[in-house]
Amino acid sequence: MLLAFLIYFAEVSGSIKHVSGWFIILLIFSICVFAIYSMVSHAEDNRKGMEFGKRVLKYLSVALILSMIVNIVIPKSSTVYLMAGAYMGTEVAKSPDISEKLSKINKIIDYKLNDLLDELKEKSEAKSSKSED
């Protein structure tokens, strides 16, 4: 079940990052507009407009910070796939049947490598003895 959730999250995380990125751009633009609005209201001695602009700026700033946190915390889809692979690798490694088979495979590989090394050693000794003659 966890693996299925991770694969689903991998597909959704890309969309979440994309949408939050555009939302951050929109928030930055809105903050700029309301900062200008607040400055103009202050220059014209418009108290209500200035207070409204400051209040909106506070909310937009909080929304911007939260959106940036979401954008930073949500991983890329490739990272989620790596997490799923690591999870499955751990689950497979915990299996006693797989552990036994892996140890047998390692022994077979060691024996085969030793045989190949012996063959190479014999060939190099044969070459060196031919070159000495």
Closest CA to 2 of 85, 123, 94, 120: 85
Nearby residues of 82 by Cβ (< 8 Å), 6 or more positions away? none
pTM over 0.75? The answer is no
* pLDDT tens digit at each of 133 positions of the chain: 777 888 888 888 888 989 999 999 999 999 999 889 888 888 888 888 888 888 999 999 999 999 999 999 998 888 888 888 888 888 777 777 877 887 888 899 999 999 999 999 988 888 887 776 5
Q: Are 64 and 27 in contact (CB under 8 A)?
A: yes
pLDDT tens by residue, 37-75:
888 888 888 888 888 888 999 999 999 999 999 999 998
Nearby residues of 48 by Cβ (< 8 Å), 6 or more positions away? 41
